[in-house]
Chain A
Amino acid sequence: MEQDEESVDDEFEDFEDDEEAIRDVVVPGEVLTEDVKNFLPGRGTILNKEKNKIISLNIGLKQIKKNYINVIPLRGFYTPRPGDKVMALVVDKNPVKYKCDINAKDFGQLKPKNTIKSGRTRGFRGGGPPQDDVNTEKFDIGDILVAKILSADRLNKPELTTVGKYLGKKTGGIIISIDPPKIPRVIGRNGSMIKMLKNLTKCNIFVTQNGRVWLKGENIAHERLLIESINKISSEAHTVGLTDRMQEYIINEKKKRGIE
């Protein structure tokens, strides 16, 4: 799987708009506006009972988009949504399904019919019955998979698939976990941050929405620098001009540590 692993995700647009403006940090219960005629409560906000105030539900950054007021969370847990790419750890298996830890409140379910190797069709008109056991990929407990979420809601366990581009088993490399709401910052506007990290540290990076980052570099020095950089990004996610600052930081650190 040595492809150019570019994780392009259109959904990561939250952090990026007007990055230069300083945003207010708000906390739960804080009144965002009392002007309910011109503004509507967006993500992470709620109207109070008298419907004359918009208040925040999360600790996060206040953002005004058109006439919606949103709060971009700074802390939180991962909620699976259909279409998300996630890094999953196989924790249990039986003949019917694999149980995967996807850093959410429920374990993800991976059924063998969703692990069919690409390039082969599952049965065809006039053909025999589908031979799932021949075509399906086999995994073991402890394997790390990159999977896509097929279905998820608040009642049922999320269902995963490993059929698709960049999906499947990961071998080698290091996986680190960061706060899921800070993942958009690691990617940056149109992938600017992740491109910069790749170029400067010569590492392969794969970022998924459940807060896990896979990375593999030429040597341990580069990987260490990258891990420290990602931790720095996650702790400074709410500040402005982060990409430039990170670039400076990495170049300085490289000089200091004497790595190319």
Chain B
Amino acid sequence: MPLIIKDEYPETLFRKDGKRLDGRDVNELRPIKMEVGVIKNADGSAYLEWGNNKIFAAVYGPREVHPHHLAKPDRGILRVFYRMATYSVFDRKRPAPGRREKEISMIISDCIEPLLFLELYPGTSFEIFIEVMDADGGTRCASTTVAALALADAGIPMKSLVSSIAVGKIDGKIVVDLSGIEDKAGNADLPIAITWYNEELSLLQFDGDMNLDELNDFLDIAKNALKDIHQIQLDALKSKYVKLQEETNKSKGKNEKKGDE
């Protein structure tokens, strides 16, 4: 359930016991659930539940570029379509892609592009469709994370996965994984994405006010959280296959035992 709050934010974003409004510690993530292979018609797909965010991603490609004039003769292109459903936020979101959606599509595309070998597929396009079904803060980070997962599920060669998280400052304290209300009422907000190949930052945006000296603290805290997210991504990709492997091994062991008897 989204929080129903209209331009009225609570005076403090911490409870009396020192925890945040949703009961988390400053370094605690919201519960995350990831799944791959959820859309049958797509080449690769993934689904993510991150707190109250619910996001689908589908990947198609390599395939022909439409409109054709966007095709590059020397390399492929990566196109990202980030869309929010009309019912994903409290006020009805107008369905036409606006400034915000175009920006987020662009940053996700720029974030993932260095990991792909686009020069091997000239004249083609890879397309990622991201649908936000339910939004509660940090959808750009969640979308980047789920887009990387969908690309890996499609079997497109890539150097590594991308993980992303927002770090911020609320009531003077540095916290990870801002929820919707903390994002709006807090002091600062810093979305970060990291490519695990060489551990480079692939996205760094900033909004609000903070001290420049604090940036290193922000980055350290973010990196610890990102490692957890990366582990969840790896588990989501592997679990489907590993489970089946273990099952077959078990049944095989049983059969062998029967044969011995």
6 contacts between A and B (CB under 8 A): A55-B159, A59-B153, A73-B155, A77-B62, A154-B122, A240-B249
Does B157 contact A75, Cβ atoms closer than 8 Å? no
Does B158 contact A57, Cβ atoms closer than 8 Å? yes
Does B237 contact A27, Cβ atoms closer than 8 Å? yes
Does A239 contact B248, Cβ atoms closer than 8 Å? yes
Closest chain A residue, CB of each to CB of B62: A105
B141 on interface, CB distance cutoff 8 Å? no
Given contacts A77-B43, A154-B120, A240-B252, contact A29 B157 (CB under 8 A): no
User: What is the size category of the interface that chain B forms with chain A?
Assistant: 35 or more
12 more CB-based (< 8 A) A-B contacts, given A27-B237, A77-B62, A245-B248:
A25-B238, A27-B152, A29-B160, A29-B197, A48-B198, A59-B155, A75-B44, A75-B155, A77-B156, A239-B244, A239-B245, A239-B249
Taking the closest CB of chain A, its distance from the CB of B193, in whole angstroms, is 14
Among A29, A30, A55, A239, find the residue whose CB has the most chain B CB atoms closer than 10 A.
Answer: A29
B132 on interface, CB distance cutoff 8 Å? no
Taken residue by residue from 9 to 28, chain A's Cβ proximity to chain B (1 for < 8 Å, 0 otherwise) reads as: 00000000000001001011
Does B157 contact A105, Cβ atoms closer than 8 Å? no
Closest chain A residue, CB of each to CB of B197: A29
Closest chain A residue, CB of each to CB of B154: A75
Taking the closest CB of chain B, its distance from the CB of A185, in whole angstroms, is 13
Taken residue by residue from 201 to 229, chain B's Cβ proximity to chain A (1 for < 8 Å, 0 otherwise) reads as: 00000000000000000000000000000
Q: Which of B120, B156, B198 contacts A49 (CB 8 A)?
A: B198
Q: Which of B44, B63, B122 contacts A155 (CB 8 A)?
A: B122
Residues of chain A having any CB pair with chain B under 8 Å? 22, 25, 27-30, 44, 46, 48-49, 55, 57-59, 73-77, 105, 154-155, 181, 235-236, 238-241, 245
B residues 78-113 in Cβ contact with A at 8 Å = none
B161 on interface, CB distance cutoff 8 Å? yes
B residues 131-187 in Cβ contact with A at 8 Å = 152-161
Taking the closest CB of chain B, its distance from the CB of A99, in whole angstroms, is 12
Closest chain A residue, CB of each to CB of B74: A155
Docked complex Cα distance between A48 and B63 (Å): 28
Q: Please, which residues of chain A bring their CB within 8 A of the CB of B120?
A: 154
Q: Which of A27, A74, A76 contacts B161 (CB 8 A)?
A: A27
Closest chain B residue, CB of each to CB of A27: B237
Closest chain A residue, CB of each to CB of B63: A105
Q: Please, which residues of chain A bring their CB within 8 A of the CB of B123?
A: 155
Given contacts A27-B237, A29-B161, A30-B234, contact A181 B155 (CB under 8 A): yes
Q: Which of A44, A154, A155 contacts B157 (CB 8 A)?
A: A44
Taking the closest CB of chain A, its distance from the CB of B261, in whole angstroms, is 18
Docked complex Cα distance between A240 and B245 (Å): 8
Closest 3 CB pairs between A and B?
Answer: A29-B160, A75-B155, A76-B155
Docked complex Cα distance between A250 and B165 (Å): 48
Does A238 contact B121, Cβ atoms closer than 8 Å? no
Does B248 contact A28, Cβ atoms closer than 8 Å? no
B242 on interface, CB distance cutoff 8 Å? yes
Q: Which of A25, A55, A58, A181 contacts B241 (CB 8 A)?
A: A25
Given contacts A27-B152, A77-B62, A105-B121, contact A240 B158 (CB under 8 A): no
Q: Which of A44, A49, A105 contacts B64 (CB 8 A)?
A: A105
Does A240 contact B234, Cβ atoms closer than 8 Å? no
Q: Please, which residues of chain A bring their CB within 8 A of the CB of B44?
A: 75
Docked complex Cα distance between A243 and B120 (Å): 36
Does A74 contact B63, Cβ atoms closer than 8 Å? no
Taking the closest CB of chain B, its distance from the CB of A36, in whole angstroms, is 16
Does B154 contact A74, Cβ atoms closer than 8 Å? no
Taking the closest CB of chain A, its distance from the CB of B74, in whole angstroms, is 9
